[in-house]
Structure 1
Amino acid sequence: MKTSEILVVAPNFKKRLSGVTSTIVQLVPLQAQSLPIVAFGPGLPGHLPKLKVRQLPALWFRPRAKPVRIWHARRNVEMLPGIFMRDVLRMPLKLVFTSAAQRRHTAYTRFLISRMDKVIATSQRSAAYLEVPNQVIMHGIDLQRFRPAGSASEARASLGLPERRTIGCFGRIRHQKGTDLFVDAMIALLPQNPEWQAVITGRATAEHAQFDAVLKEKVKAAGLADRILFKGEVEHPAPYYQALDLFVAPQRWEGFGLTPLEAMASGVPVVAADVGVFADVVTDQTGQLVPADDPVALTRAIADWMGDRQRLTAASGAAYSHAQATFPLQREAAQIDAVYTELWNQPTG
């Protein structure tokens, strides 16, 4: 794409896979169907439209169709260069920031946010921690990518998983994500439920490698290494959701958390800790909320679901219907595009 045609840049300055990166990977191709938008940064998949480094100097020139371009940041490390380009280099830019954090921001982050032209919060909880005007736009899910399988058994076979009823916990492996809470629950429950197995996907970064190793050793010591399966980071998570009968999101803290949405879109009921946006998306018909960092409540809730096949079947259909009605990615894209349009309609200096 010619630089003169580009209207929106979505920077991604973190190489490792994260929820923010996943959002960009899903949203940008959809937005690009009706808007000249590009991603910018390392580690992005090849199918995304991208801004090349050599194109950066051309950002000094106004785009052909609008008075300014929009730089849509989602992290501090992306807000700062946007401010520099707009305020120091005097590039014709408007700055948008999406905040998912559910904690008081540092003084540095508050300063960066105060320099934005528009701020989006991903939930009402996130909005409560912002000290500037903002608009709440909840994340959506690619409902074509995340959808139920014709058969969970067939999905398991395609992944080379043993044929047992399957419970999953997906995401980065670390204390914050509560992976240890899930492992402890499985060690307690699987011996009494021989028809079930657990699957854990996600990456343990170098700083969490010891945490990961301790969990695997605990599973081995319990004699459950063949039924609590660590699959590492997977490039395409959708088939793993399709292989599940139940999903668990045991996070101790979460900014937003896409995994319960992805599970429900795949027709999988969810047991989730009451963190992030989970209380806004998990209903009594689609799953169950438990207090955060409460291993007893988590284990009890999982046990109840594992032992009630009729409840699982009913919640599977309800989860899928709820996702179709509430989580479409098109809704998120349209609401974000409306924010861009509002900025373009504002007078420029």
Structure 2
Amino acid sequence: MLHAVQPGDGGVARVVVDLVRGQLAAGLRVAVACPPGTELAAAVRAEGADTYDWRAGRDPGPRLVRETRELGRLLRGVRPALVHAHSAKAGLCARLALRGRVPTVYQPHAWSFEAVEGTTAALARRWERLGARWTDRIVCVSDAERRTGEAAGVRAAWSVIHNGVDTERFAPRGGPGEEAREADVGLGPGGPLVVCVGRLCRQKGQDVLLAAWPAVRAAVPDARLVLVGDGPDAERLGAAAAADPSVRLTGAVADPAPWYRAADVVVLPSRWEGMALAPLEAMACGRPVVVGDVDGARESLPPGHEALCLVPPEDPAALAAALGRLLGGPEPRRSLGLAAREHVLSRFDVRRTGAAVAGLYRELAGVRCTEHREPIGQ
């Protein structure tokens, strides 16, 4: 089977790498078509998957016809039993190229029409409705994402399969001391640390976080903030933070896990999501999170955490208040972090996600796996 993927970085790439790893271990022959030179291309090649260069950009535009034809030629050569298209661009090109001739799974990873406005959003909704006719199953990562699609008029066969994370890789440090925890990421000891991991872009809301930060510092004067990641807004966000010595931007990092462990609180004030990976990874590391109240956010939190950990999107005052409450003392953070870790272990282990996706493949195309184990004791 073949994964068609654009973008080749960020959360989508991490989801695909985890799926590919599990599918190869289960005995499937797996191919991935994605932009060359990306994190995804290198990672899936290292896992042993067949990898094909598909030169596709993020946005639709004049290159769309060429990108669709290129993917169509690739699919005719590979002849997969099933195609799993990830995100709007791959979903558009794959479904236009295949038009139902091969069992097709589409996973939006947040709907395309949420990222735009006006006429562009209307066109995106129209395409999603039309594209559903060539889709055997739309996989949503949260019930909220499915409801958003239904409200937009997308009529399809749905499966809701929550994102999962590697709970062995993303786990509490287990070593001694707060000082050692911060030293892992090159920080010295200091005040409570807030970490935001995500692509630096409008979707993830780092601008809202920077707008909230002066109020956080007024409540907790020694608080520190680190933005982990890279993206199109890096220069603008860096300029906005340049005058505040309590704020640091790291750029892209190979492994965010040490940053989660170093944090006292992890925050992701997104404007839209399907179900963000960063909060799940942070909770797996035993850290409390503060997240924007967008698709998938409520479903990702442990029961009872909504009042403390969920804030309206684009509301700096509410975000500052939530962070101030959690930074006020270590004991609430500790109890929230312990509950968060147990919640992820019980509901969001990547092996559970892989097993659900494998079951879907069997249903649609008779794809058989030699082994795909559920998490032990869960």
**TM-score scaled by length of structure 1:** 0.83
Superposed, which structure 2 residues align to 1:210-289 within 5 Å?
A: 210-217=235-242, 220=243, 224-225=244-245, 227-283=246-302, 284-285=304-305, 288-289=309-310
- Separation of aligned partners in 2, 1:216 and 1:196: 14
- Separation of aligned partners in 2, 1:189 and 1:82: 45
Question: For residues 245-300 of structure 1, what are the alpha-carbon distances to aligned partners after superposition, in whole Å with 9 as ceiling and x for unaligned?
Answer: 11111112223211111110010001111112111111334851112211111111
Most deviating of 238-247 and 252-261: 252-261
- Separation of aligned partners in 2, 1:28 and 1:11: 12
Most deviating of 98-107 and 143-152: 98-107
Match of residue 110, structure 2, among 88, 92, 101: 101
- Separation of aligned partners in 2, 1:132 and 1:233: 37
- Separation of aligned partners in 1, 2:202 and 2:338: 32
Match of residue 29, structure 1, among 8, 21, 25: 21
Relative distance call for 1:333 and 1:52 in structure 2 (3 A) is closer
Superposed, which structure 2 residues align to 1:1-349 within 5 Å?
A: 8-15=1-8, 17-34=9-26, 35-41=28-34, 42=36, 43=38, 44=41, 45=43, 46-53=45-52, 69-83=81-95, 86-87=98-99, 93-102=102-111, 103=114, 105-128=124-147, 129=149, 130-151=154-175, 152-164=178-190, 165-190=192-217, 192-205=219-232, 208-217=233-242, 220=243, 224-225=244-245, 227-283=246-302, 284-285=304-305, 288-345=309-366
Contact 2:91 2:108 in 1 (8 A): no
Most deviating of 263-272 and 122-131: 122-131
Q: Which amino acid aligns with 1:177?
A: K
Structure 1 residue 331, shift from structure 2 partner: 0.8
Most deviating of 312-321 and 71-80: 71-80
- Separation of aligned partners in 2, 1:255 and 1:204: 19
Unaligned runs of 5+ in 1: 1-7
- Separation of aligned partners in 2, 1:122 and 1:115: 20
- Separation of aligned partners in 2, 1:199 and 1:171: 11
Most deviating of 143-152 and 307-316: 143-152
Unaligned runs of 5+ in 2: 54-71, 115-120, 368-378
Contact 1:285 1:319 in 2 (8 A): no
How many residue pairs align between the two structures? Answer: 323
Q: What SS does the aligned partner of 1:106 have? A: helix
- Separation of aligned partners in 2, 1:209 and 1:156: 24
- Separation of aligned partners in 2, 1:137 and 1:333: 9
- Separation of aligned partners in 1, 2:78 and 2:7: 27
Contact 1:175 1:211 in 2 (8 A): no
Q: What SS does the aligned partner of 1:127 have? A: helix
Q: What SS does the aligned partner of 1:253 have? A: coil
- Separation of aligned partners in 1, 2:310 and 2:171: 22
Contact 2:99 2:134 in 1 (8 A): no
- Separation of aligned partners in 2, 1:24 and 1:136: 16
Contact 1:257 1:278 in 2 (8 A): yes
Structure 1 residue 95, shift from structure 2 partner: 1.1
Q: Which residue in 2 is equivalent to 1:3? A: none
Relative distance call for 1:210 and 1:319 in structure 2 (3 A) is same
